Structure 1
Amino acid sequence: MQKPPKITDRKALLRNRERADLNSGMFLHHAAIEEITDRLKLINRNFSNPAIVTGFPEIWKTLLPNVRLIEDKEILALEEQSFDLVVHAMALHWANDPVGQLIQCKRALKPDGLFMAVGFGGSTLKELRSAITIAEAEVTGGLSPRIAPMAEVRDIGSLLQRAGFALPVADSVSLTATYETPWNLMRDLRNMGEANALEARLRKMTLRNVLIRSSELYVEQFMHLDRIPATFELIFLLGWAPHPEQPRPLRRGSANTRLADVLNNSKTGQQ
C-alpha cells in the first residue's frame, strides 16, 4: 500500500502547540467543546468508556468525566473495540492520513459505539489565504505552502463511509472573529498553536514586503466598520461502529413517496 504524502512537520507542530496560549488562544476549542456537548445531549446514551484524540488534552479533558486522552499521532494509542465513544478533536487538518485516523477510531469502538469529530473546514481563513496568496505572487512571483489543507464538508463527510462507519452525518458551523489589524489575527493564530507546520513550508522568514502587502490587501478587500473579519469553519462528523440492530437505509428505489410530493406539500401547508 502506498504511504500517504507527508503533509505535516510533526516537530514544528508540537513546537507550535507548546507555544500556544492556553488562556487566551483556545476560544475555538471552547466553541467546539460547547457544540460537541450539545450534540451529545441529543443522544440518549451514557458513555462509560470515552476517549478523546487531541493535541490539547488540558482543554479537552473538561468534555467528559473519566475520559481517556489520546495524542493525535499517526498511530493512535487506542485498543481495538475498547471504547463506546471516541471524539477526534481539532486535529484532523494536521493528519498526514485522515482516513487512517478515522479507521483507527472505528476499530477502537465497541459495536454500536459512537464516533464524533470536529475540525477546521475549507472556508477557514479564506480572507487571509486570499490576501497572502495575491501578495506573495505580486512580490516574489511565486507561492509557498502556508495554511494546512482543509477539506470541504461534503468531501470529509464521504471519508466516514470510506472508513466504514454506519449512519454517517457531516455538517458545519461558521464562526467569524474580528480584529483591528491582520497582525492581531496572525498573533492569535500563534496563540492557538496553528502557525505554519507544513512539511513543504519555506524554512526561512517570510519577506517583510510580503507580510506588509498581504496586510494591505486584507484591509482593502475585507475591512468593515474599522475591523477585519476572519472566518473559521468547524466541520462536525458523526458515525457509528456497525451493529446488526442499527437501522439501515432503504434499498434504492424502494421509497413509496416522491421527493417532489413532499416538497409540494410543505410549500402548500398540506399534511
Structure 2
Amino acid sequence: MGDTSARPFDPVLRQRARARLPLTRADFLLRHACEELAAREALLPPGPEGLVLTLGAGPFTPAGHIAADVAPQRLPGVGLQLLCEEDSLPFGDSALARIRSVMLLHGVNDLPGALVLARRALVSGGRWLAVFPAGMALPQVRAAFLEADMAAGAIAARVGPTVDPAQSAALLQRAGFVEPVAEVVEVRARYPDLATLARDARAMGETGWLARRSRVPMTRGRWAAAEAAFAQGAEADGKVTVTLELLFLSARKP
C-alpha cells in the first residue's frame, strides 16, 4: 500500500467527519459553491453526451447526475449514487462525459493522481470542473490559534494545508488536460465568536481529519486564548469577518 506517513489527511477520519452531522443551517457554503460552479459551467461550449459524475454536492446534485461522496450520509438519497474517494475513482477509461467536484478536493491526499484518474475516466472532449478551498483559507482562524499556541509554548497543527492556486493550471496540464482555467474567488462570512464558526465547520464535515493533527490538548485556557485572539478582529457590531479563497478549475480531455 506504500508509505502513508506523508499523507496530510486521514481518509477514515474524513469520512467520519462528513457523516457526523447533517448540513442543515451550515449548508450555505456548499450551496454557494454549487451555484457558482453551475454558473461557470453554463458558459462552456457543449461537450460530448454521456454520464456525468458530481462529487460532494449532496442535496444540490443536479438531476440525472451520478452523485458521489466519501460518506453515505452526504448523498442526496435519490438517483444513481456512489461512495468513493477522488483519488480512487471506480471507473474505467472513457466512461464519463463530465466530472464535477464540489468542496472535496482540498481533502484528497493524492491530488495529481486524482487528476490523472479523472482524465482517464473522461471521454475525449470531456470536461472536468471543480471548486474547493485553496490559497489563503481562514487566515483569521489560523492566526488566532497560532497566537494561543505561542502563548502556551507549543505550536500545533489546527488547520490543514491548501493548494497554491498559482500551481493549479500546471497540475492540470501535467495530468494530461488541455484548456486549463483557474479562478480564485474570495468568500466572506461574519461570526460573533470562534465557537460559532467551529460549530459550522464541524457541521460542514471540515474538522478533525488531519493525519498529523495536534496531540496537544485543547485546554479551556488555550481555547479561551484563541477566542480572545479571534475577537480582536471584531468590527463595530461585534462580529469578525473571516475569509476563504475558493478555487474554481476547469479543463478538457484532448
**TM-score (norm. length: structure 2):** 0.87
Work out which of the residue numbers 178, 185, 208 in structure 1 matches 2:220.
Answer: 208
User: What is the identity, as a one-letter code, of the residue corresponding to 2:240?
Assistant: I
2:59 paired with 1:59: yes
Matched, 1:127 2:140: yes
Tell me the equivalent position of 1:17.
18
Q: Which moved more, 1:65-74 or 1:184-193?
A: 65-74
Q: CA deviation at 1:157?
A: 2.7
Cα distance in 2 for partners of 1:77, 1:204 equals 38
Q: Which residue of 2 aligns with 1:194?
A: 206
1:169 pairs, out of 155, 169, 181, with 181
Letter of the 1:19 counterpart = R
Instruction: Report the equivalent of 1:112.
Output: 125
Q: Give the CA RMSD over aligned residues.
A: 1.9
Indicate the residue corresponding to 1:267 in structure 2. Answer: none
2:246 aligned residue? 234
Q: How much has 1:200 moved relative to structure 2?
A: 0.7
Distance 1:48 1:66 in 2: 11
- The answer to whether structure 1 residue 83 and structure 2 residue 96 are counterparts is yes
Given the superposition, is the C-alpha separation of residues 26 and 78 from structure 1 closer, same or farther in structure 2, using an over 3 Å criterion? farther
Whole-angstrom distance in 1 between the partners of 2:242 and 2:221? 22
Q: Distance in 2 between matches of 1:210 and 1:157?
A: 40
* Displaced runs of 4 or more, over 4 A: none
Structure 1 counterpart of 2:165, from 153, 162, 167:
153
Whole-angstrom distance in 1 between the partners of 2:170 and 2:207: 28
Cα distance, 1:70 vs. partner? 3.0
Post-superposition shift, 1:149?
A: 0.9
Structure 1, unaligned stretches of length 5 or more? Answer: 243-271
Structure 2 segments unaligned to the other structure (5+ residues): 70-83
- Residue 24 of structure 1: SS of its match in structure 2? helix
Q: TM-score, normalised by structure 1?
A: 0.81
Shift of 1:27: 1.1
For 1:7-27, what per-residue CA distance to the aligned partner results, in whole angstroms no more than 9, with x for missing partners?
111221112111233221221
Preserved contact between residue 127 and residue 253 of structure 2 (Cα < 8 Å): yes
Deviations 1:161-193 (A, max 9, x none): 121110111011111000111111111111111
Once the 2 structures are TM-superposed, how far is the Cα of residue 203 of structure 1 from its aligned partner? 4.5
2:31 is aligned to 30
Q: Return the offset for 1:205.
A: 4.2
User: Does structure 2 conserve the Cα–Cα contact (< 8 Å) formed by 1:70 and 1:76?
Assistant: no
Change over 3 Å in CA distance of 1:41–1:82 after alignment to 2: same
In the other structure, the counterpart of 1:70 is 68
Q: Is the 8 A contact 1:29 1:59 kept in 2?
A: no
Q: Does the 8 A contact of 1:147 with 1:196 survive in 2? A: no
CA contact (8 A) 1:121 1:233 kept: yes
Find the structure with the greater CA-based Rg. 1
Match of 2:108 in 1: 95
- Quote the Cα distance in structure 1 between the aligned partners of 2:59 and 2:115: 22
In the alignment, residue 51 of structure 1 is paired with which amino acid? L
Decide whether the 8 Å contact of 2:58 with 2:67 is kept in 1.
no
